[in-house]
Amino acid sequence: MRRLVAIFGVALLVATACSGTANPATSSGGPSASAAASDTPVAGGRIVAGATGDPKTMQPVISTDTQSSFVWQWFYLGLTRTNYKTGETEPSLADKFEQSKDGLTLTYTIKPNLQWSDGTPFTAEDWRYTVHAVARSAKTVRKSTFQDIVGWADYRDGKADHITGITVSNNGMTLEIKFGKVFCPATAAMGGAGGGILPSAAFMKVYNPYNTDTKANIDDNALNMAPPASMGPFVFKEFKPGIQVTLARNDKYFRGAPLIDEFVIKVYADATAIKNALVTGEVTYATVEAKDYDEVNKVDSLKGFRYKTSTYNYIGWNAKAAKAPWLANTQVRQALAYGINVDAIMQKIVFGLGTQVYAHTPPPSWAYDESGLNKYKYDVAQAKKLLEQAGAKMGSDGVYRWTDGSPMKMRIETNQGNNARETILQFAQEQYKAIGIQIDPLLESFNALLDRTDPGTDYEGFIIGWSLGADPDPYSIWHSSQTGKGQFNDVFYSNPVVDQALIDNRNGPDCSQTARKAALHKIDQALNNDVPYTFLYSADGLFFSSKQLQNVDPSTYSQTWNIEKWWFKK
Amino acid sequence: MGRFIARRLVQAIPTLFGVLLITFLLSRLSPADPVKLMLAGNSEVTVEDREQLMQALGLNDPLPLQFAKWMWQLAHLDFGQSLYYHRPALDLILERLPNSLQLSLLALVVTVAIGVPLGVIAALRRGRIEDHAIRIFSVSGHAVPQFWFGLIVVLTFAVQNRWLPIGSMNVVGTDCTVCWDRVWHLIGPVFVLSIGGIATLPRILRTEILEVISQDYVRTARSKGLKENAVVAVHVLRNALIPVVTSFGTILLVFFSGSLIIERVFNWPGLGRLTFEAAVSKDYPVVQAGVVISSVLLILSYLLRDIAYAWVDPRIKVR
């Protein structure tokens, strides 16, 4: 029977191998053939993008997942946006924004004559409404963003009918926010009202937040799945569960109506299915994983783009691990950094399409500065020397003994099914053996990994990654206070210099980019020396789109920032 | 007949309760809570925000209380709100159910339409090349894992050769239920979903036909001058079908469980895919509602099987 199955499988595989990769169909469609063969942009056509699931909501206040934000981002914008290349905050619906000298007042001036897609004027009142809705929502996770605004707590708890620290004046053209204490990431965080700004006129019909009733909220209403108006390039048209969300061009978009008629977000089971759809031409553009780069790059009808990303992978070392007390020792952690060949890992996993990282701030950030950082070049002898300096003694079985006599054996865990992390684990197991440390690999579900590495003492090493926002504020990851259940300092890192620099970066009082960059560099230098993680690499973003699609210019912080200018060339 | 149906439905209640209890416990006792999964890796969310969300979703209640609340809701036909979608779980299920039924029922029709003739051919051509070919097909069809077979079909016929679509129900821009586009999208998932049934049916049917064909009443039918086709259709097949009807229960079970994987592989927006995704993200109310609806459908299909059993064989009386 086994042979039969083998024969059957081989027959199918031969069929697979024999068939070539034909040119993709153009079901994602452009304008009619006669439209233009020149470089003059022509209107029309449909873009199809892939998503790995339905939007759970189309309303940013209660949104917690990327599938949802991938939909509402086309309707609900912020007063500011992140520059697609540099990550710096730049004006969007606001013309300008300024922070007072004492850092306690933030003032936005709204662009004149802005209109929602339904014709209603856009004013600062829309921002004010959205923040009030966040304050009373039971399902939002964005309250902490606004907690320093004067009068926030009183309003949230029903002691006031509005937030006193927010003032809208000048016919809705000026917005002033007063803070109880300086919060440097405020300019970036406030602009979007914790996501995107809602059309207050339409939402007032389903929820009025200006009262002291803390029971009512915006969490459950029909508009959450049917956005009534848009400030973005597209308006909501139709949602077919499990199949797709269809958007249409917003003719009132303030940067100019898009040239594309329709934007469809089609739902696929996973990233592989989206890659397949990209190859066959069903999807117009998508990002792909490094392992698929070669295959997709060979498709004639696609063009590729590559950019740095604000993500990185690492091996975390729990300084409070009950079964591996040596992880509290800096020299041991430095030995672990010297003892793994990150270059070889990068070649194997991302085929060199990435950047090695030596500390927390990711390469594309404006705060990135690798000067003075140790590169920890793979060096077995140096690793062993550090272990011995730390007090470890080599045992007869080739495994070091720690100062208490116990063999230096420990577990490294990661989530099953993530090929990159599984490969890192294999490397770690082999290469740490060479420096006299025995690794027991553990593959588990992602759920179990999250659960087990919630700050505690029952885990030693773990492989996972960070995907970071544009504004660098790593307080929740590295501050020594953030080690409770549900918090993110799960390696129990504690360094008073870093603690102070994290607060300086966050609460100023000097919030200038220069001051923050200096504070962040101090943090990176300390992390680079203390190596609470073995920092590995940041994979490049690999973006492919149909060759017909023009003006595509994806980068780190946005791949679609100029979508209104995209058009199909025949 | 009415009393029979009522009795069977009452008997189904303890089974259903057992299924509910196991589903509830398994989903709660596996690691990580839904909020942790929802916010995985989002370092900007504070503990206070997480706690508030846990509270709002009712996840801080003790397990027995959560179970009791759910039972109370179920008694009122309320399946609760999805933790992720912020909508009633039943609405999500009902949106997807017709798509799943379309797939499963079509797979059943295809299974019978291909499986029964293959069984008849295998029996009537016993020991010849057709019989061997069908046996090889049956064994292979059984041995091949559905998810693997599905992936190979997608890779071969959709990605490499573009004969079939990558998945979903319609091409973007078309929206029809009875049309060539829908049939084109159904070919892959129906083929893969029915392959197990098509492999099973001929084996059972062949054995039964061979047993029935040597019975006295078949010889009598032949001796009174009936044509061979009539003998097979009226006398042999009808009697041989009885165990086949019994095996429908198993086939339906395969459809229900198989659709979980097949719907995902072929990106079919059905109940199976919804339940699978809800299980992965620990959206308890949707998983529970999905399991309840699937269990009820399965129990009903078993009931239909028993009724069909009596219809095929009048000697069996429904009591």
Nearest-CA distance A428 → chain B (Å): 23
Q: Does residue A15 register a pLDDT over 50? A: no
The torsion angle over the Cα atoms of residues B104, B109, B111 and B112, rounded to 10 degrees, is 140
Contacts of A28 in chain B (CB under 8 A): 172
pLDDT value at position A547? 95
The DSSP element (H or E) to which A243 belongs, if any, is none
Which residues in chain B touch residue A139, judged by CB atoms under 8 angstroms apart?
53, 56-57, 86
Residues of B in contact with A506 (CB under 8 A): none
Question: In the prediction, which pLDDT does A7 show?
Answer: 35
Q: Do the strands A541-546 and A533-535 form a parallel or antiparallel pair, or are they unpaired?
A: unpaired
DSSP B60: T
Which residue on chain B is closest to A28 by alpha carbon? B172
pLDDT at B245: 76
| Mean pLDDT value across chain A | 90
Q: How far is A4 from chain B (nearest CA, A)?
A: 7
Residue A363 has which token pair? 């390469």
* CA nearest neighbour of A68 among A79, A57, A81, A78: A57
Write down the pLDDT at residue A14.
Answer: 34
Q: What is the pLDDT of residues B244-269, one digit of tens each?
A: 777 777 677 767 666 888 998 999 99
| Residue A450 pLDDT grade (very low, low, confident, very high; cuts 50, 70, 90) | confident
Which pairs with CB-CB distance under 8 Å and at least 24 residues apart come from B277-283?
B277/A53, B278/B82, B278/B84, B279/B27, B281/B34, B281/B37, B281/B38, B281/B84, B282/A447, B282/B27, B282/B30, B282/B32, B282/B33, B282/B34, B282/B37, B282/B83, B283/B34, B283/B82, B283/B83, B283/B84, B283/B85
With a cut of 80, say whether residue B285 has pLDDT above it: yes
Average the pLDDT over A414-430 and give the result. 94
From CA A10, how far away is CA B155, in angstroms rounded?
14
Express as a percent the part of chain A with pLDDT over 70.
93
Q: CA-nearest residue of chain A to B280? A: A447
The tokens describing A323, both together, are: 């079964």
In this complex, do A16 and B40 lie within 8 Å of one another by their Cβ atoms? no
Mean pLDDT for the stretch of residues A169-189: 92
| A135–chain B nearest CA distance, Å | 11
pLDDT digit string, tens, across residues A147-156: 899 999 999 9
Residue with tokens 């002033």: A176
pLDDT grade for A8, boundaries at 50, 70 and 90:
very low
Dihedral angle, C-alpha B307, B313, B315, B319, nearest 10 °: -10
CB atoms A5 and B144 under 8 Å: yes
DSSP letter for each residue of A123-159: -HHHHHHHHHHHHH-SS-S-HHHHTTBTTHHHHHTTS
Question: Which chain A residues are within 8 Å of B267, Cβ to Cβ?
Answer: 267-269, 273
Burial (CB count <10 Å: 0-12, 13-18, 19+), residue A18: exposed
pLDDT at A530: 97
**pLDDT value at residue B153:** 93
**Lowest-confidence segment of A28-32, A541-545, A556-560 by average pLDDT:** A28-32
Those residues with Cβ within 8 angstroms of residue A165's Cβ, 6 or more apart along the chain or in another chain = A149, A150, A151, A152, A177, A178, A179, A180
What percent of chain B shows pLDDT beyond 90? 15
Three-state DSSP class for A251? coil
The structure tokens 């295809």 sit at B110
* Closest alpha carbon to A124 in A55, A197, A60: A197
Strands A461-467 and A244-249 come out as: unpaired
Q: Return the residue in A8, A69, A446 with the most chain B beta carbons within 10 A, the one to mutate for interface testing.
A: A8
pLDDT value at A16 more than 70: no
Altogether, the residues listed in chain A come to a count of 570
The contacts of residue B201 (CB under 8 Å, 6+ apart) are B111, B112, B115, B116, B118, B119, B244, B247, B251
Q: For B208-218, how does the pLDDT look when each residue is reduced to its tens digit (9 = 90+)?
A: 888 888 888 88
Q: What pLDDT is attached to residue A3?
A: 36
Distant-in-sequence, close-in-space partners of B66: CB < 8 Å, separation ≥ 6: B24, B28, B58, B59
Nearest residue in A to B31, CA atom: A448
Q: Does A277 touch chain B (CB under 8 A)?
A: yes
Confidence tier at A21 by pLDDT (50, 70, 90) = very low
Chosen for mutation from B29, B35, B44, B274 (greatest number of chain A CBs closer than 10 Å) is: B44
Check CB contact under 8 Å for B46 and A469: no
Decide if pLDDT at A276 tops 80. yes
Q: Is the pLDDT of residue A314 over 70?
A: yes
pLDDT score for A124: 96
What's the rounded Cα separation, in Å, for the pair A22 and B203?
Answer: 40
A254 vs B280, higher pLDDT: A254
| Mean pLDDT of the residues in chain B | 85
Q: Give me the pLDDT at residue B317, please.
A: 61
Task: Say what the pLDDT of residue B222 is.
Answer: 86
- How close B175 comes to chain A (CA, Å)? 10
At A292 the pLDDT is 92
Amino acid at the residue A208: N
Q: What would the pLDDT profile of A472-511 be if each residue is shown by its tens digit?
A: 999 999 999 999 888 899 999 999 999 999 999 998 888 8
Contact B49 A466 (CB under 8 A): no
Q: What is the mean pLDDT of residues B167-171?
A: 84
What is residue A100's DSSP assignment?
Answer: -
Q: Which residues of A touch B36 (CB under 8 A)?
A: 447, 450-451, 454, 486
Residue A312: pLDDT band with limits 50, 70, 90 = very high
Neighbours of A101 (CB within 10 A): 8
Taking the CA of residue A429 and the nearest CA in chain B, the distance in Å comes to 25
Interface list for A 231-250 with B (CB within 8 A):
240-244
Q: What's the confidence (pLDDT) of residue A45?
A: 94
All residues at 6 or more sequence positions from B304 whose CB lies less than 8 Å from its CB, including other chains: none
> Which one is predicted more confidently, A186 or A385?
A385
User: Number of helices (H) and strands (E), helices first, in chain A?
Assistant: 17, 24
Q: Given pLDDT bands bounded at 50, 70 and 90, which one contains residue B306?
A: confident
Residue pLDDT, tens place only, A359-417: 999 999 999 999 999 999 999 999 999 999 999 999 999 999 999 999 999 999 999 98
Residue B297: what pLDDT? 79
At residue A18, the pLDDT reads 34
Q: B173: which chain A residues are within 8 Å (Cβ-Cβ)?
A: 29, 46
pLDDT value of residue B316 = 67
pLDDT, mean of residues A41-57: 93
Helix (H) / strand (E) element for A388: namely helix A380-389
Q: Is the pLDDT of residue A31 over 60?
A: no
Give residue A83's pLDDT. 93
Higher pLDDT, A189 or A4: A189
Taking residues B16-27, report their average pLDDT: 87
Q: Report residue B32's pLDDT band, with 50, 70 and 90 as the boundaries.
A: confident
pLDDT class of B318 with cuts at 50, 70, 90: low
* Of the listed ranges A133-142, B148-157, B164-173, the one predicted with least confidence: B164-173
Contact (Cβ atoms closer than 8 angstroms) between residue A353 and residue A539 = yes
Q: Complex ipTM, two decimals?
A: 0.82
Whole-angstrom distance, CA of residue B288 vs CA of residue A34: 54
The pLDDT score that the predictor gives to residue A37 is 52
- Among A18, A47, A56, pick the best mutation site for testing chain B contact (most B Cβ within 10 A): A56
